[in-house]
Amino acid sequence: MTKKYLLALLAVSSFTFAQSTDPAPYCPATFDNGVFNVDNAITQVQVGSLDNVSGGRYTFPHYVFYNNLPVVHLERNQMHQMTLKFNTYGACGYGVWIDFNQDGIFVPQERVLGTVSEPLNISEGTLVQIAITIPATALLGETRMRVRVAEDDQFSQGTNFNIPPCNEGETSMGILDWGETEDYTINITGILGVNDSSKTAFSLYPNPVTSILNISSATSENMSYKIFNLQGAEIMSGDVNSSNNQISVDAISQGVYFITITAADTTSSTMKFIKK
C-alpha cells in the first residue's frame, strides 16, 4: 500500500467516524473494565429520525459523543417512541437523560427512561421499546441526550439498578466497571396547531395545500424555511421566494408536516400544514 493511498484512506476514515470522545461541557461517563473485560454495549438507539446502529461497544474507555449525526427534532409536550438494543452479559442497568434546561448538567428529573430495581435481561440483543415525553417546560433548541448501560459488581448494585449519568469520582471507586455511554444532540421544538398560526408573526395559506404555500409575514420579506415530517426529520429547507413569498411543496408526498419560518430579524414560528 502506497503512502499516498494510506493517507487518503485515513482521511476518509476520520471523516466517516468523526465522533468525539470529549463530553465537555457535560460530565465524564467512562468505564474502567474492572479486573477483566465484559463487553456490555449499546447496539442501537432509535428515536424520531435518529436510528444509530453501532453494533457494538465503543473503544476504551467506552464513551462516545455522536456529534457527526444529523440532529433529531423532538416536539415539546409530546410522546416519542424510543427503541434501544443492548448486549448484556451480566446484571446491567440502563438510563436515558435529556438536558431539558440546557445547563450542561444531568439531574435526576431529566432521567426519562431506565431501570430501577430490576436489571435488563441478559442476552445479545436485549430490546427496550418505550415512549419518552418531552415536557412542556423544556427549553427550545439543541441540547444533549445521554444513553448509558452499566454493570458494576464492585458497587454491588444488588436491587438498585438506577445507574448514575456520570462518573462519581476519578478513582476506581467512582468509575463503573463495564458498559458504554453514548451522547447525542437533539433539537427540542415547539409545534403549533394549524388553527394557532394566526397568533404568530407568519401565516400560511392555503392549508391544506396541493402545490404552493403562500407565506404572509408582518416582520420581514427575507425569510428562510425548514420543513419536517411527523418523525421530526428535516426533509426540505431553503429561502422563501422573495418576489412572491411562496414555497413550492410539489416535491413532498401527501401527509402532515411542520414548517419553521425564520425572518432576517430572527423572528421564528413553527406551524403545521397538510399536503394533499
Read off the pTM. Answer: 0.66
Q: What is the mean pLDDT of residues 68-87?
A: 91
Q: So what's the pLDDT on residue 270? A: 77
Evaluate if residue 23 carries a pLDDT over 60: yes
How sure is the predictor about 10, in pLDDT bands with cuts at 50, 70 and 90?
very low
Evaluate if residue 17 carries a pLDDT over 70: no
Q: Where are the beta strands (DSSP E) in the chain?
A: 41-47, 50-53, 63-65, 72-75, 78-88, 93-98, 111-114, 123-134, 141-151, 178-189, 202-205, 212-217, 223-228, 234-239, 246-248, 255-263, 268-275
Question: pLDDT digit string (tens) for 83-108?
Answer: 999 999 999 999 999 999 999 999 99
What DSSP character marks residue 126? E
Q: What domains can you pick out in the chain, each with its CATH number?
A: 21-189 (2.60.40.770), 194-275 (2.60.40.3080)
How sure is the predictor about 15, in pLDDT bands with cuts at 50, 70 and 90?
very low
Question: pLDDT digit string (tens) for 173-225?
Answer: 889 999 999 999 999 987 544 333 334 567 888 988 999 999 887 665 688 99
Q: So what's the pLDDT on residue 218? A: 67
How sure is the predictor about 22, in pLDDT bands with cuts at 50, 70 and 90?
very high
Count H helices and E strands in the chain, helices first: 1, 17
Taking the C-alpha atoms of residue 192 and residue 214, their distance in angstroms, rounded to an integer, is: 18
Evaluate if residue 235 carries a pLDDT over 70: yes
Query: By CB neighbour count within 10 A (0-12 exposed, 13-18 middle, 19+ buried), where does 146 fall?
Result: buried
Query: By CB neighbour count within 10 A (0-12 exposed, 13-18 middle, 19+ buried), where does 13 fall?
Result: exposed
For 50-59, 118-127, 140-149, 183-192, which range has the lowest pLDDT when averaged over its residues? 183-192
Q: Taking the C-alpha atoms of 231, 232, 236 and 237 in order, what is their torsion angle to the nearest 10 degrees?
A: 170
Evaluate if residue 25 carries a pLDDT over 70: yes
Buried-exposed string 65-102: b where 16+ CB fall within 10 A, e elsewhere: bbeebebbbbbbeeebebebbbbbebbbbbbbbbbbee
Q: What is the mean pLDDT of residues 3-29?
A: 61
Cβ atoms of residues 188 and 76 within 8 Å: yes
Buried-exposed string 175-209: b where 16+ CB fall within 10 A, e elsewhere: bbbbbbbbbbbbbbbbbeeeeebeebbbbbeebeb
Looking at per-residue pLDDT, the higher value among 162 and 8 belongs to: 162
Q: What is the mean pLDDT of residues 45-50?
A: 94
Evaluate if residue 76 carries a pLDDT over 80: yes
